[in-house]
Amino acid sequence: LTVEAGCTLRDAQRAAAEAGLLFPLSMGSEETCQLGGVLSTNAGGLAVLRYGTARELVLGLEVVLPDGRILDGLSALRKNNTGYDLKQLFLGAEGTLGVITAAVLKLFPRPHSHETVLLAVTNLRAACEVLVAVRATLGDCVTSFEFVTHEALGLVLRHLPDSRAPFGGAVTHFVLLELSVRAGDTHLRSAVEALHKQLLDDGVVQDGLVATNESQRAAWWRLRERIPAAERAAGGSVKHDVSVEIGDLAQLTESAAAAVKQLVPNSRCSIYGHIGDGNLHFNVLAADGADPLLFREQHAAAISDAVHRCALALGGSFSAEHGVGQLKRGLLRQTKSPVALDLMMRLKASLDPKGLMNPGKML
């Protein structure tokens, strides 16, 4: 599927569907972003576990170079090992090496339907246990595996009036997972139900539901997708977008939560994210009733420093999916190895010697 950079994610998804296929990149409710930005930031989204990030969903690119020439790479070939794969330079480069103007997107067979499962867990360790069990049993059918803490769920329930707690009002940590189903695969439902029962019996999950209709599925996804809006309604948060290996996720949240509590004892952590990809949004809000602006002014820098330190100490990343931009340039300089930084500067100098492209970003 060939699209221009200004095409929205939603339009790309629709065009793929009209061709009977799937463009699997999805941001949930925020599908009005444009492909140029999606590709320049190597966006992730809700189905990375199964389909990869934006970089993995591109076959060809057209790029305007800093000197005005056009790199015409709008090829739809699946395999082409003739020289350096130049498109890789521009994917995720945040516009600092050239401007992506069009792309050929990779499409996939369209799943016939979905199974959506909501599981109540007592902590992130249990959620990671569920992930291992689900992938071992159901394998690559798993497209999304999201974790939401009861604090994040609580913010949604409190600040977004039309939302409802899923487990009869109990506000728990939960896992939201989705599996894609091929046509006629009636067995997946029973496999999901068997696994669900096993997880309940083993005490790994406390409660669980399998969606019986689309509106139930949509309601559960809204609980996940509206967390950023709820944080805004609560006065805003100090946001982080960290990743570690999946086995280190629980340790990351424990150590970061402890560090944050030590800095600002009454602050609230809203933690959620794509744990199937090792990626958590670890956001921190002012104490209930405290002035959120003042809180951020006084504590944001120290809190971010502490959270990023915890991720980096585990070999993690301070920007799993949101990139560097202006805000995290200092972090990039502080944390990348001198060799990596030198290579980045050499690439930039080689492709954009006059520094024309998106100045002040990333490097």
Q: Which is nearer to its own copies, 14 or 346 (CB)?
A: 346
Transcribe 82-110 into DSSP letters.
Answer: SS--THHHHTTSTTSS-EEEEEEE--EEP
CA angle 87, 89, 94 (to 5 degrees): 110
- Choices 145-153, 168-176, 206-214, 323-331; region in contact with its own copies by CB under 8 A: 323-331
Q: Does 108 bind its own copies (CB under 8 A)?
A: yes
Tell me how far, at minimum, the Cβ of 206 lies from its own copies, in Å: 25
Is 136 a residue that touches its own copies (CB under 8 A)?
Answer: yes
Does the protein bind its own copies through residue 138 (CB under 8 A)? yes
Contact residues for 208 (Cβ-Cβ < 8 A; gap 6+): 117, 118, 119, 120, 196, 199, 200
Q: Residue 296 and residue 303: Cα distance in Å, rounded?
A: 9
Nearest distance, CB of residue 189 and its own copies, angstroms:
11
Give min distance, CB of 100 to its own copies, in A: 14
Q: Which of residues 203-262 bind its own copies (CB under 8 A)?
A: 243-245
Contact call for residue 352 and its own copies (CB under 8 A): no
The Cα 236–Cα 124 span in angstroms is 24
Binding flags for its own copies, 54-93, as an x/- string (CB under 8 A): -xx--------x---xxxxx-xxxxxxxxxxxx-xx-xxx
**How many other CB atoms sit within 10 Å of the CB of residue 337?**
8
101 part of the interface to its own copies, by CB under 8 A? no
- Kindly report the length of the chain: 363
Which residues pair with residue 71 across a beta bridge? 63
**Candidate list 258, 287, 327, 340; residue touching its own copies; CB under 8 A:** 340
Give the residue among 313, 308, 312, 265 at the shortest CA–CA distance from 290. Answer: 265
The tokens for 48 are 């990375």
55 versus 125: smaller Cβ distance to its own copies: 55
**Which residue in 8, 137, 206, 251 binds its own copies (CB under 8 A)?**
137
Binding mask 277-296 for its own copies (x = CB under 8 A): xxx-----------------
For the chain, what is the radius of gyration of the CA atoms? 21
Distances (CA, A) of 294 to 263, 265, 298: 15, 15, 6
Residue of 6, 315, 355, 360 interacting with its own copies (CB under 8 A): 315
- Which lies closer to its own copies via its Cβ, residue 89 or residue 259? 89
Does 18 interact with its own copies (rule: CB under 8 A)? no
List 161, 168, 169, 184, residue binding its own copies (CB under 8 A): 184
